[in-house]
């Protein structure tokens, strides 16, 4: 594994830790073990990552090209902020109820002087403890608000920097291809034979790649595979894409799910070297069901099963970049 691959692996491990546990400490020894290197090697070659491992810095600084992860970090931070705000409000209500209950219990049994002594002692102590706790919660809320604002600024800055490198979309610098799966769906509807469906699908994809290999100037062409998972609309995805300045972007809707098939298709596009893949995802079964009923009527259930079982593309598969984007209702 190269030094850059090891560094990418370390960053990925820290990112997953912060996504799951927030900006908390990940011991260097544990991080090094997970990356398959010694602690001494980490300190010698990757010491600049120590602040992130110890939770002193947000990994968002290293993820300017990973908008999906930046968005997830912001969502996690907002969720934690909301939970603390709710805890703060609940603590205030509990504090008021506690004072009322304690006062009521003691008033019924103590004389006025005893009540005054109680208020001077026990009530003051209770109030002080509760106020200290509320102050702590308020401090944590403020800290999270600052962190959340910083993460938002980092995400916006990243998006703006990326946008600055893009050109206005035209027919000359932006092209999309989507395989015609109507014959495949028809073949399956008649025969209920999934093998016939796949044969028709493969033929449709092959025709597209034959067209792409005839495009001029492959050295200035960026190919983007949109890995169709049947949970989102391809045209909506294309509408958000922008080509780079002085380059042509080709976006291909690609219902292919195995590493071997994807790599064969990449090799068939040589000498085009800039090939990226974008993968939609959602944790909502409702979104998946609604989008499949609306956009993909007639698609065999076996195709949905293959899409759901597909492994997430990895950096060592050969792509220029791998981008994940979260699908929401209606997209």
CA distance 309 to 258: 10
Question: Tens digit of pLDDT for each residue in 235-251?
Answer: 999 999 999 999 999 99
What is the distance in angstroms between the CA of the first residue and the CA of the last residue of the chain? 39
| Residue 178 sits in the same domain as residue 320 | yes
Please state, in angstroms and rounded to a whole number, the distance separating the CA atoms of residues 11 and 42: 12
289 or 124, higher pLDDT: 289
42 falls within a domain:
yes
**Do 250 and 148 fall into the same domain?**
no
Q: What is the pLDDT of residues 209-236, one digit of tens each?
A: 999 999 999 999 999 999 999 999 999 9
Q: Which of 125-139, 175-189, 275-289 has the lowest mean pLDDT?
A: 125-139
Tokens of 82: 């909301």
Dihedral pair phi/psi, residue 143, rounded to 5°? -60, -45
Q: Is the pLDDT of residue 72 over 60?
A: yes
Task: Indicate if 153 and 182 belong to the same structural domain.
Answer: no
Do residues 185 and 261 touch, judged by C-beta distance below 8 A? no
Q: Are residues 270 and 158 in the same domain?
A: no
Is the pLDDT at 160 greater than 70? The verdict is: no
Q: How far apart are CA 176 and CA 249, in angstroms?
A: 8
Q: Which of 150-159, 303-312, 322-331 has the highest mean pLDDT?
A: 303-312
Please report whether residue 23 resides in a domain.
yes
Q: Is the predicted pLDDT of residue 88 greater than 80, yes or no?
A: no
Q: Is residue 331 part of a domain?
A: no
Q: 81: pLDDT confidence band, cut at 50, 70 and 90?
A: low
Query: What is the DSSP track for 25-53?
Result: ---HHHHHHHHTS-HHHHHHHSGGGHHHH
Least confident span in 17-21, 96-100, 157-161, 253-257? 157-161
**pLDDT of amino acid 245:** 94
Alpha-carbon span 266 to 227, nearest angstrom:
13
- What's the pLDDT band for 114 if we cut at 50, 70, 90? low
Determine the structural domain holding residue 147 and report its residue range: 67-164
Whether residue 141 sits in one domain with residue 181: no
Least confident window among 75-84, 175-184, 301-310: 75-84
**What pLDDT is attached to residue 135?**
81
257: pLDDT strictly greater than 80: yes
Domain boundary, last residue among 12, 32, 57: 57
Domain co-membership, 211 together with 300: yes
CATH code, domain with 242: 3.40.50
Question: Residue 148 pLDDT more than 70?
Answer: no
* pLDDT at residue 106 greater than cutoff 70: no
Has residue 186 been placed in a domain? yes
Cβ(280)–Cβ(327) under 8 Å?
Answer: yes
* Average pLDDT value for the chain: 86
273 with 301, same domain: the answer is yes
Mean pLDDT over residues 259-278, rounded?
94
17-69, pLDDT tens digit by residue? 988 988 889 999 999 999 999 999 999 999 999 999 998 888 887 776 666 66
Helices (H) and strands (E) in the chain, counts: 13, 5
| DSSP secondary structure letter of residue 311 | P
Decide which of 57, 76, 102 is a domain's last residue: 57
* One domain, residues 195 and 236: yes
Same domain membership, residue 243 and residue 159: no
Query: Could you report the per-residue pLDDT of 176-207, keeping only the tens digit for each?
Result: 999 999 999 999 999 999 999 999 999 999 99
Residue 249 lies in a domain: yes
Tell me: do 254 and 181 sit in the same domain: yes
Q: With cut-offs at 50, 70 and 90, classify the pLDDT of residue 254.
A: very high
Of 146, 164, 182, the residue at which a domain comes to its end is: 164
Domain assignment present for 169:
no
Q: Which of 198, 213, 200, 210 is nearest to 258 (CA)?
A: 198
| Residue 40 sits in the same domain as residue 151 | no
Number of compact structural domains in the chain: 3
pLDDT at 122: 78
pLDDT band at 276 (very low <50, low <70, confident <90, very high): very high
- Angle made by CA atoms 16, 19, 25, in degrees to the nearest 5: 80
Q: Please tell me which residue, 196 or 74, carries the higher pLDDT value.
A: 196
> 251 is written with which tokens?
């976006």
Residue pair 262/317 in contact by the 8 Å Cβ criterion: yes
Q: Has residue 302 got a pLDDT over 60?
A: yes
62 lies in a domain?
no
The structure's pTM equals 0.53
Residue 139 to residue 144: CA distance in whole angstroms: 9
- The answer on 209 and 77 residing in a single domain is no
Query: pLDDT over 70 for what percent of the chain?
Result: 83
């Amino acid at each position: 594994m190269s030094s850059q691959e090891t560094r990418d692996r370390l960053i990925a491990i820290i990112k997953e830790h912060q996504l799951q546990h927030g900006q908390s400490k990940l011991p260097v020894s544990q991080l090094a073990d997970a990356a398959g290197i010694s602690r001494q090697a980490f300190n010698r070659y990757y010491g600049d990552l120590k602040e992130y491992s110890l939770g002193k810095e947000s990994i968002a600084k290293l993820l300017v090209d990973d908008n999906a992860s930046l968005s997830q970090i912001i969502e996690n931070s907002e969720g934690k902020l909301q939970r603390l705000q709710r805890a703060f409000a609940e603590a205030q209500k509990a504090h008021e109820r506690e004072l009322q209950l304690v006062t009521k219990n003691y008033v019924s049994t103590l004389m006025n002087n005893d009540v005054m002594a109680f208020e001077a002692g026990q009530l003051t102590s209770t109030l002080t403890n509760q106020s200290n706790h509320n102050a702590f919660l308020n401090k944590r809320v403020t800290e999270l608000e600052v962190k959340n604002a910083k993460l938002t600024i980092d995400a916006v800055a990243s998006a703006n920097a990326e946008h600055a490198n893009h050109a206005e979309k035209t027919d000359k610098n932006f092209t999309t291809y989507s395989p015609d799966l109507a014959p495949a769906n028809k073949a399956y509807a008649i025969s209920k034979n999934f093998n016939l469906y796949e044969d028709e699908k493969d033929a449709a994809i092959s025709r597209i790649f034959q067209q792409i290999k005839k495009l001029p100037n492959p050295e200035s062409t960026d190919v983007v595979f949109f890995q169709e998972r049947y949970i989102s609309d391809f045209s909506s995805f294309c509408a958000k894409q922008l080509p780079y300045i002085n380059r042509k972007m080709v976006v291909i809707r690609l219902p292919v799910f195995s590493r071997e098939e994807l790599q064969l298709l990449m090799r068939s596009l040589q000498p085009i070297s800039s090939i990226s893949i974008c993968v939609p995802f959602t944790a909502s079964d409702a979104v998946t069901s609604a989008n499949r009923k609306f956009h993909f009527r007639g698609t065999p259930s076996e195709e949905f099963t293959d899409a759901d079982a597909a492994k997430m593309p990895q950096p060592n598969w050969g792509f220029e970049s791998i981008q994940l984007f979260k699908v929401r209702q209606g997209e």
